[in-house]
Structure 1
């Protein structure tokens, strides 16, 4: 099924300068989700993206419209406007058809997704084409009909489709044929009625349904279930309950308001930005508490290595950002922190490290290319920064106080094993071993990896654990070793040491991680004046070196690193990244805090730079889409690209807003003061 979609997109996107053929993009539209299910809503088209979060595939294709007297008006052929209802997860889409306006409401409640339609068009019906792929299959799929509910199943996954007003008619259809696939033209869905084969209506996950309107409204319901966990009778009961409860807009808005990511009345700085960040991070989180990096837009890995996995670097940094933000903004996210901690305890390997990436719905090992510590030999394809990032979060979470004594014990045990792993990968000169970098595209002894070690040891040293003294000693070793990476003529820290001890002189935004690491070290040691000078130079010089302000568009920001050739398309040079821009804002804010804590007047300039970069990624900023989402990358033309929304920059934005508000530098840089 996904191959058919990829081939169809290839036909539509070939020849475009800013599109990579074969992908399923989420650059426009909005997501509805929660508790594992993730549904993309765009111009009346729905698609499930939640397989990494739930292990269930659900809808792979859909199309909706309104029909009067047999004439169909598909919503994706008409103009539409879309928004979130009052900052909640309810997506409201208004379709302007030639025969009148139709409002579409989309809300996800656990494993169920509800799509409501409202219109004043007389004598109308809603037509819905939905393609379900239980267990990711398009063949060996069957149907069971339960009055007004259709069950589509393969083996483990059983998907249910129903309506609050029933169906006035429905039919099944086989997927696109081989002739369709090899045709030069894209396939039009839904396809015509079957060709006479008696099995088509029953042995297919593709359904065309007609929904009658009662008082101008109806609600389509899809429910995804795991056959090992949900009885058929329970699923049918849930379908009946949802059908009876969600019959009008009031029911949708009430349910959405109850699940708002942030209290709409809370006194929170930049409320729209904070609410959007919490919503996005919630959308990307599975029941385990683990997050996928972003919606998987490239299912055949044609142009990427996949995004629907949990990387412990990204996830733990997000977890730490959320923890610190919650402590200041009072976001009521204690359950998030506990789930993250449990997930890290459960996924730790016997040697104290964490693997390259796992499936967020169950923590099982996922496909990857940096699992040297699971293989025989002493390979360098290991990302040591991931273990450092998890330690920094767990140590900070422990220091904040854990009410659950059993969880606290697990965290302590996990940290003790993790320190052994970190020690094992720290060489005699005080820097980490040769390994893979944060961007996963090269090998060396990286400054960013060194920064994660410094932050991990410093966070541990700030606790009352028995290993704190050892961690303090190790933190000091790493702090001293950072000097080896300094490039005095450029005024920055090198990207890495490579080869026979030579330094890679390129500017790399990941090295901005040094600032947060030193802010953590400053709590257990002394950041001397020479180091403050170098950190100040590093931040400002790095931002200048990576700054991109294309002439032919309104966007501006930081690119990832000098010489970055990934997903350039026809552009021919580095692209702007929201991660790097957000990292620049966060590092500048951290630098301002570090300077203020050391009574250094340069805090004012750093805060001003942080505010300038933050504005680029805030809602209304040039790198933030109207959806409130931060795509991973931008072309110079202003076209977004890659995973959208990406969790990492949203967490960076949240943490930067929180830190700048806490330190009094969010609105006026001259207000920066030391934290007494």
Structure 2
């Protein structure tokens, strides 16, 4: 998304109740792409690349598809789409619509660095029809200083190293360039509809712009448009043009697209619990992954940081939890995802800092440091602007999967864990709790319950791992210290562990969904230590009170679930109340399931009440639940009226849902399709 597009969107949506102006949204439409390139297919058929963080190639920034009949233009965004779905459990997007000229079906599949859009007309459609595609490319993330080269049956668009190609299975009947939005138009109050008329008598417009309009003939009622993103240093022009021809020839029919898509699909066991949810979760996590194994948090809807700090990066907190959950589910359900675990482990080894910790966030394509605001351990100063829970999460994953790793990789992880323990020790205060740092939500400093939970889980996982006795003994001692120190955060009058200890020494008594991580941490701790009755009672109270007080059930729609924390004002727009978060709701379900497991280990009858809470919360994020979109995606947040907001799909809640489904199956918790709400 270029600045001109962001400003145009700002003019269109300034003052909107649920849309933040200047963003590129993915709350509708579907994504395709398992090879790094990530292409969004909107319901109106338009395409946009979101894969820059995954590949370093920017690709398509804006587009519009339609038909030309007798020199008259009909754009697909003129009417609502009839339907848009994935083909079975694949990443092949199928979009069906009715046009004034007959039915039409659009098939979209991203294949490595290429994307194929195949369009077929229904029987009885107009014979003299052309497909028209307006596409704006931004090679090297530039919207100016772009050139075009016209080849016999393809167009090449380039800035410096990134060269993007457009071709067709049926050749172009016509094509021309477009000039971008002019300065005066950017400053004007009115918006600009693209594409423009064919020519405005500017001799350079066909060659010095990333915008292109192409017209494609239909043959036997079908045609295909192919785009290919390349780097000059790795792909020659001749190779790229040859591959473009091969793609156009190979994917000129639906069967070929379906066959390729099905070959990339994970085969789930017949008895997999909630197979539809598991398939959707695995697909989302694959869509968000780079070849390194690192993932973006979600499609970056706000590249100019207009209303957030961006989402197209790898955070080690949620990425390591995703890796751990995938490994657990793979082992439980027999998904055969060992390669994911190995790849994640290698990526974390490559990104570990010299002090044994992990930084705020990195680019997933190569693990290099990404822009951030929590790099205190890389800067001079007191290090408060450091998110210690991220290192704790990686340590938990590496220690937990150690037995699943082979040979040199296992040895390298052992070495990394030694260094990581030094990093954890350095950020553990004398009183047994982590030092003041930033929280999981990245908007406060203090000494947080959530950070303490990640440290408890990390040390417990190391103590339980097949490591030298000196290492496990030290980790056990540190875990015991944290176990005792956690009670410093207990707020007896509220029956919860406080959100944090503030700089003043006072406890912040707000309810916080991140603090629910304490339960999973104690499930790790119980493997190497004893949880006494007092602690168990406090955990029971903490989960009950946190879930009850973060529960929100607005009257405007079917939306209901947990808000992020008490008093959360972020991205409210005009709502005036905390928004429901899918992460928090799924986290609540996972914590309740974990609590069920802990209590059953103790033979405690209270376990069954938490099984019911698990049922209530998990049902909200399952495919038929009110927080799960028709696409199968979980957005980060939802407005009261049901409008999804922020990064969509977000990897973290999908991983939490995946893990909770597996845990409920392991514990024998029956999750109903239409569970009663907690309010009942």
Query: Any residues of structure 2 matched to 1:34-73 within 5 Å, and which?
Result: 34-42=34-42, 43-73=44-74
What is the match of residue 673 of structure 1? Answer: none
SS in structure 2 of the partner of residue 113 of structure 1:
strand
Q: Is the 8 A contact 1:62 1:131 kept in 2?
A: yes
Q: TM-score, normalised by structure 2?
A: 0.97
Query: Any residues of structure 2 matched to 1:83-122 within 5 Å, and which?
Result: 83-120=85-122, 121=125, 122=127
Query: Any residues of structure 2 matched to 1:421-436 within 5 Å, and which?
Result: 421-436=423-438
SS in structure 1 of the partner of residue 649 of structure 2:
coil
Q: How far did 1:668 drift?
A: 7.6
Q: Is the 8 A contact 1:432 1:445 kept in 2?
A: yes
What is the match of residue 230 of structure 1? Answer: 235
Residue 279 of structure 2, aligned match among 275, 282, 290: 275
Query: Any residues of structure 2 matched to 1:86-485 within 5 Å, and which?
Result: 86-120=88-122, 121=125, 122-260=127-265, 262-263=266-267, 266-399=270-403, 401-403=404-406, 405-466=407-468, 467-485=471-489
Q: How far did 1:274 drift?
A: 0.4
SS in structure 2 of the partner of residue 214 of structure 1:
coil
**Whole-angstrom CA distance in 2 between matches of 1:483 and 1:182:** 57
After TM superposition, what 4+ stretches of structure 1 lie above 4 angstroms from structure 2?
none
**Whole-angstrom CA distance in 1 between matches of 2:39 and 2:503:** 46
Q: TM-score, normalised by structure 1?
A: 0.97
**Deviation per CA, 1:272-307, whole angstroms, max 9, x where unpaired?**
100000000111111111001111111110100100
SS in structure 2 of the partner of residue 536 of structure 1:
helix
Q: Is the 8 A contact 2:402 2:466 kept in 1?
A: no
SS in structure 1 of the partner of residue 355 of structure 2:
coil
SS in structure 2 of the partner of residue 520 of structure 1:
helix
Q: How far did 1:195 drift?
A: 2.0
* Structure 1 unpaired stretches of 5+: 670-676
SS in structure 2 of the partner of residue 525 of structure 1:
coil
Q: Is the 8 A contact 2:618 2:671 kept in 1?
A: no
SS in structure 1 of the partner of residue 33 of structure 2:
strand
**Deviation per CA, 1:194-243, whole angstroms, max 9, x where unpaired?**
32222211111111001111111111111111111212222112111111
**Deviation per CA, 1:484-516, whole angstroms, max 9, x where unpaired?**
111111111100111332111110000000000
* Structure 2 unpaired stretches of 5+: 674-680
**Deviation per CA, 1:339-384, whole angstroms, max 9, x where unpaired?**
1100100000000001110011111101000001111122310000
**Whole-angstrom CA distance in 2 between matches of 1:668 and 1:210:** 50
**Whole-angstrom CA distance in 1 between matches of 2:221 and 2:243:** 24
RMSD, matched Cα: 1.2
What is the match of residue 672 of structure 1? Answer: none
What is the match of residue 578 of structure 1? Answer: 582
Q: Is the 8 A contact 2:268 2:335 kept in 1?
A: no
Residue 623 of structure 1, aligned match among 620, 627, 636: 627
**Whole-angstrom CA distance in 2 between matches of 1:598 and 1:72:** 70
Q: How far did 1:332 drift?
A: 1.7
Alignment coverage as a number of residue pairs: 666
Query: Any residues of structure 2 matched to 1:479-558 within 5 Å, and which?
Result: 479-558=483-562
**Whole-angstrom CA distance in 2 between matches of 1:410 and 1:194:** 61
**Whole-angstrom CA distance in 2 between matches of 1:660 and 1:447:** 25
Q: Is the 8 A contact 1:657 1:666 kept in 2?
A: no
**Deviation per CA, 1:557-597, whole angstroms, max 9, x where unpaired?**
00011111111111112111000000000000000011112
**Whole-angstrom CA distance in 2 between matches of 1:485 and 1:518:** 15
SS in structure 2 of the partner of residue 570 of structure 1:
coil
Q: How far did 1:602 drift?
A: 1.3
Q: How far did 1:640 drift?
A: 1.1
**Whole-angstrom CA distance in 1 between matches of 2:671 and 2:513:** 25
**Whole-angstrom CA distance in 2 between matches of 1:150 and 1:162:** 7
